[in-house]
Amino acid sequence: MTGHPQSDGDTDRFLLLKRTDMNRSLPCFPPTALLLCLLPLLFVSTVARADELGAEGLDQESAQDIQAGPRALSRAFRLAARQATPSVVTVYSYGQNVESDGQQEAADADTDQPGPTPPPRENVDGDSLQLTGLGSGVIVDPSGLIITNNHVITGAKKVVVQLADETEIEASEVHGDPDSDIAIVRIEREQPFQAAGLADSDRVEIGDWVLAIGSPFRLEATVSAGIISAKNRTLVRIRRGRLLQTDAAINPGNSGGPLVDLDGKAIAISTAIATRSGGYQGIGFAIPINQAKWIADELDHHGRVRRAAIGIVLAELNPKNAKIFKLPVGLGVVAYQVIEGSAADRAGLKPLDVILEFAGERVRKPSTLQEVVERKPVGSTQEVKIYRRGEEIVLTVELATLEDPTLGGEKEAEGEEEKASEEAGTDEDEDAAALEE
C-alpha cells in the first residue's frame, strides 16, 4: 500500500517532466495517447537515419562517378594529343615581299618571343632572308605531304619545316590556293614520315570535343581543348568553302595546324579567329579536313585547284524566298538564273528550277550544292534531279570549269596547246633541215 502512492507520484512527476519538455509541440495527453503520438516520430527518425545511411552510400558512388568523368576525359585528351602531336610541324616562311596574315603572325610571335628564334636563312644568291611567316602544319601522307594555310607561305622565297623532333627540312615544293586558304608543302627524306589519321569531317557535330595543336608564339606542340561551337560558317577572306567554329584556343602561329578529335584524328585545319583585340577571344575557325584534303590533292597533282561549275546563280529556299516562289522551305536549291550557253543551259535547266539532288547527293543549301559540284571532275557527266511545276525530272549535265562555265575556255586552251605543239614541231623540223643542209 505504501509503495502505491509513491508509484503514482513518480508517474505523475514523469508525466509532468515529459509534458514540460514537449509543452511547445504536444498537448497534454494520457500516457497511452502520448505513446501513440510518439510512434510516428520514432518511425520518421528511423527512416531519416536510413535515408542518411543510404545517402552516404550514394554520395560515395556519386563521388566516384564524378571523379571518373573528368579522369576519363583527361585520359582521352592525353591519348589524342599523344597520337596526333608527332604529325604536327612548324612552318617557317622566309623572304615574303607582300604583307600577309602569315607575316603578321610572325610579327606577333616576335613580340613575345617565348619560343626559340629561328636563324636567318640564305637564298641561292647568298643573301640573308628574314623570317616573315610563321605557322603550323600537319603531315597527311608518309611521303612528306603537309597541309597548312596559304597565308602562311604565300610569296615565300624559302619555306622550312620543323618536325616534332626538331629536325628541320627545307621544302622541295610549295603550292597554295587563296580561295580556300589551303596550301601544301612537300618535304623529302629517305625514311617515311609519321602521318596523321584523318577523320570524316562530315560526321562532326556541334558539341564534339576537339584539340587544337600547333605552334602559337613559336611554342611547338601546344595543345588546347574546346568543342565544335558551330558549323557551316563563312568568312569574306575565304571565298570557297564552309568552316567549323570552335572555342579551342587559336593564337598567332596556330594557323595551318590540325584540329583533332578524341581519337587523335584530324577533322579540320585551323585558319582564323574572330577578335577585336588581335588575340584569342573564344571564337576560332577551321577548314573541314574533307575539304582541305581534296584541295591538297588537287594542288599536289596539278599545282592548282580545278573547280567544276555548271553556270547558274543559286538562291536558298529560306522562309522568305519560299514564300516568294511559293515552294516548300528547304525543298532544294533554286536555279535563280541560268547563264546562256553554260553547262546548265545545255543540259536543259531553266530559271526557277529547284535542284533536289546532284550526282545522287541530296542538296538543300547553295553552299552544299557548290561544294558537291566543284569537287567533281571537269568534263565529267553528272545527273541532276530537279523539281519543275510539280514534277521531278532527271537531267544530265557535263561539268565545265569555274573560270568558264561554257567549257569554251578549256577547249580554247587545249586548242592553243595543240597549235603551239604543232608550231614547235614545225620549227624543229625546219631547224633540223637547215642543219642537214
Q: How confident is the model at residue 221 (pLDDT cuts 50, 70, 90)?
A: confident
HEC assignment per residue over 268-322: EEEEEECCCCCCCCCCEEEEEHHHHHHHHHHHHHHCCCCCEECCEEEEECCHHHH
- Whether 5 has a pLDDT exceeding 60, the answer reads no
pLDDT class of 68 with cuts at 50, 70, 90: low
Among the residue ranges 112-121, 129-138, 159-168, 291-300, the one predicted with the least confidence is 112-121
User: What local confidence, expressed as pLDDT, does residue 128 receive?
Assistant: 76
Q: What is the pLDDT of residues 312-323, one digit of tens each?
A: 999 999 999 999
Tens digit of each residue's pLDDT (9 = 90 or more) over 94-128: 998 755 554 455 444 444 444 445 555 555 454 57
Q: Which residues are catalytic?
A: 151, 181, 255
Q: Give me Rg for the CA atoms of the chain.
A: 36
Q: Which domains does the chain have, with CATH numbers?
A: 84-113+129-302 (2.40.10.120), 308-406 (2.30.42.10)
The per-residue pLDDT for range 178-216, each reduced to its tens digit, is: 999 999 999 999 999 999 999 999 999 999 999 999 988
pLDDT tens digits, 246-257? 999 888 889 999
pTM over 0.75: no
pLDDT for 355-392, tens place per residue? Answer: 999 999 999 999 889 999 999 999 999 999 999 998 99
